[in-house]
Structure 1
Amino acid sequence: MSKAASELVLNADGSVYHCNIRPEHLADTIITVGDPNRVEKVSRHFDSIEHKASKREIVTHTGTLNGQRLTVISTGMGTDNIDIVFSELDALANINLETGQIKEDFRKLSFIRLGTSGALQADIPVDSVVLSSHGLGLDGLLHYYVGSEAVMNKELEDAFIKYVDWSPNKSRPYLVEASTSLLNKLASENTIQGITATACGFYGPQGRYLRLQPNPADINERLTSFNHNGLRISNFEMETSAIYGLAAMMGHDALSVNAIVANRILGEFSTDSYKTVDAMIEYSLEKLTK
């Protein structure tokens, strides 16, 4: 069955609506960043750039580094934006945009998120790099898709829900594992691994108290002390769970690489977060293309 024009929305030039690129502009290896300004920080390392596009907060550069074709794209903040970008990138790869038909030959993509994050463990220092072994979704996005349970780790979810006394008024947390192949490719003695918790906001959902009090007020303490068979929650951010969940459901690989710019337990923030992010970018590109 072909997709209706209202479901698979295209621009006049045949590009997908929000990402504003066509299938030929998409590499098989895709680096996602939140900040549009970070796209150039990644692509400046490329040997060549073949295509640039932008629309709203979504900026895309496709080029080549060390003989490997790469796309870097900004998503903006939050799992809602991940839903838009990942749905459209998968459509570019696996739907015929002219007919709206799903292609018979599946094209597998690899997604690597290069983002910033706050540590939830005292022994994870500011300016370090965390690779997300799992994405813990506190945002609820995956529950909007049929079959999402197939990619979730229910045992670990149940253990988390019971331990932190998760409110039934909130969406059920979901947990999805990283791509083993990408995790092994980027892991080294210079990285730390752990569960990355993904919140639906920056303030209350991550336990920050300004004028409104978070509920529960001790959410960070509950996350920090959770441990299940040696697995602990290492950091907090706003995209990883959706990236892992959607990629797994679509049949793609995904890994989240996190530059730790804050330690929420110690109350510390990096004195040069830009340097930390640049170091993460250089490390990841070297690992991806060597």
Structure 2
Amino acid sequence: MAQEISAADLIINPDGSIYHLNLLPGDIAETIITVGDPDRVSEISRYFDSIELKKGKREFITHTGYLGKKRLTVVSTGIGTDNIDIVFNELDALVNIDFQSRKVKEKLSSLKLIRIGTSGAIQADIPMGTILASSFGIGMDALMNYYIHELSGDEHSLLDGIKTHFSHYKGINPYITAADKELLNTIGGQMQQGITLTAPGFYAPQGRQVRAKNAVPDLISQLQSFRHNQYRITNLEMETAGIYALARVLGHKALSVNAILASRVNFQFSPDPQKVVNKAIKMVLDQL
């Protein structure tokens, strides 16, 4: 028999909504697009034929509506895997926990979760303006130290190669998860694909130096030089690995679509980033 989840572990607002997202069960569709920037929610929902719900709290903005006959939700996560931890656990709770009994439902639902985000390429042959689907997400953050996370054979092999490549750096304990194959082959089928590295910050953790001294000054070249069989790391951002790993843990399907705005090896940034983001949005919606 399912055990009741405590009020401290699952916080429900007085109106019956989940704590951070401020959403009720039924407010979300089975297919959910996540974006980091709250302003990007309306940039996607403007393509909907109808919008049935708009809610927001803090950086978490949600729109649910229809594109043709397909019900879709767009939710902003904010930046970083710490926010992914909040958003994905609460989205899962909305479909897989009975808020009245506080028990896990006997029949579980599996969501389709598609991130549309921005990223920087670390390989010279990936130009700005590329739309890239992440075949794997490598996490350099600490999120998955707190969850039981099982790997497949391919993931084990690739993670061993990554750990060996970075063995001379102290305190780095990477994790890895593959994209959902169905979503990668359908939504990502017409896109360039590559391995995305998720950093725990934007500046030094991604090899940038402004005023504070960087403890890993050769980070970009180290990432660029990694090879394991046919695999290489293609781009850097801040959410993909957490999305893939938590989706796997919770039984959902996930894909990360990256609008490449920067070339880190050529020291360039897109002169028209919105155009690149709009291209990514349209490519995803066309496949939905």
State the TM-score, normalizing by the size of structure 1: 0.96
Alpha-carbon shift at residue 66 of structure 1 (Å)? 1.8
Which residue in 1 is equivalent to 2:134?
132
Q: In the alignment, which of 64, 74, 81 is matched to residue 62 of structure 1?
A: 64
Amino acid at match of 1:3: I
The amino acid across from 1:73 in the alignment is V
208-217 or 172-181, which moves further after superposition?
A: 208-217
- Whether contact under 8 Å (1:164, 1:223) holds in the other structure is no
Counterpart of 2:100 in structure 1 is 98
**1:272 counterpart letter in structure 2:** D
Q: Give the aligned partner of residue 274 of structure 2.
A: 274
1:214 aligns with 2:214: yes
Shift in CA distance, 20/165, structure 1 to aligned 2, threshold 3 Å: same
Note if contact 2:151-2:177 (Cα within 8 Å) is conserved in structure 1. Answer: no
Q: Provide TM-score, normalisation by structure 2.
A: 0.96
- Whether 1:184 and 2:224 are equivalent positions in the alignment is no
Give distance in 2, aligned partners of 1:151 and 1:62. Answer: 34
Cα RMSD (Å) of the superposition?
A: 1.2
Helix, strand or coil at the partner of 1:201: coil
State how far apart, in whole Å, the 1-side matches of 2:255 and 2:84 are. Answer: 14
Q: 1:166 to 1:144 in 2, by over 3 A?
A: farther
| Counterpart in the other structure of 1:230 | 230
Q: 1:166 to 1:245 in 2, by over 3 A?
A: farther
Q: Indicate the SS of the match to 2:26.
A: helix
Alignment partners' CA distance in 1, 2:189 and 2:272: 23
The alpha-carbon deviation at position 55 of structure 1 amounts to 0.1
Residue 169 of structure 1: how far off its partner (Å) = 2.2
Kindly indicate whether the alpha-carbon contact (under 8 Å) linking 1:30 and 1:72 is maintained by their aligned counterparts in 2: yes
31, 41, 52: which one aligns with 2:33 = 31
1:6-155 matches, cutoff 5 A: 6-145=8-147, 147-150=148-151, 153-155=155-157
Measured in 1, the distance between the counterparts of 2:96 and 2:169 equals: 38
Structure 2: distance between partners of 1:163 and 1:244: 22
Deviations 1:178-217 (A, max 9, x none): 000000111344x211100000000010000111222211
> Using a 3 Å threshold, how does the CA distance of structure 1 residues 91 and 166 change in structure 2: closer, same or farther?
farther
Equivalent position of 1:158 in the other structure? 160
For 1:214 and 1:14, locate their aligned partners in 2 and report how far apart those are by CA, in whole Å. Answer: 46
Q: Aligned AA for 1:89? A: L
Where 2:120 maps in the other structure, the secondary structure is strand
CA distance, structure 1, for counterparts of residue 223 and residue 94 of structure 2: 37
Per-residue deviation, 1:162:
1.1
- Unpaired segments of 5 or more residues in structure 2? none
Q: Return the alpha-carbon distance in structure 2 between the equivalents of residues 23 and 42 of structure 1.
A: 22
Correspondence for 1:4: 6
- Counterpart AA for 2:130: S
Give the deviation of 1:239 after TM superposition. 0.1
Deviation at 1:154, TM superposition (A): 2.4
Letter in 2 for 1:139: D
CA distance in 1: counterparts of 2:49 and 2:246, whole angstroms: 30
Rounded to whole Å, the distance in 2 between the matches of 1:45 and 1:166 is 48
CA separation in 2, counterparts of 1:11 and 1:151?
38
For the residues of structure 1 that align with 2:195 and 2:134, how far apart are their CA atoms? Answer: 6
Cα pair distance change 1:182/1:166, threshold 3 Å: farther
Q: Give the letter aligned to residue 193 of structure 1.
A: Q
Question: Distance in 1 between the 2:132 and 2:225 partners?
Answer: 18
Shift, 1:149, TM fit:
3.3
SS class of match (1:5)? coil
For residues 140 and 14 of structure 1, the distance between their equivalents in structure 2, rounded to whole angstroms, comes to 31
Where does residue 264 of structure 2 map in the other structure?
Answer: 264
Cα distance in 2 for partners of 1:75, 1:86 equals: 9
Q: 1:229 Cα shift?
A: 1.0
What is the one-letter code of the residue matched to 2:218?
D
Match of 1:174 in 2: 175
Given the superposition, is the C-alpha separation of residues 151 and 91 from structure 1 closer, same or farther in structure 2, using an over 3 Å criterion? farther
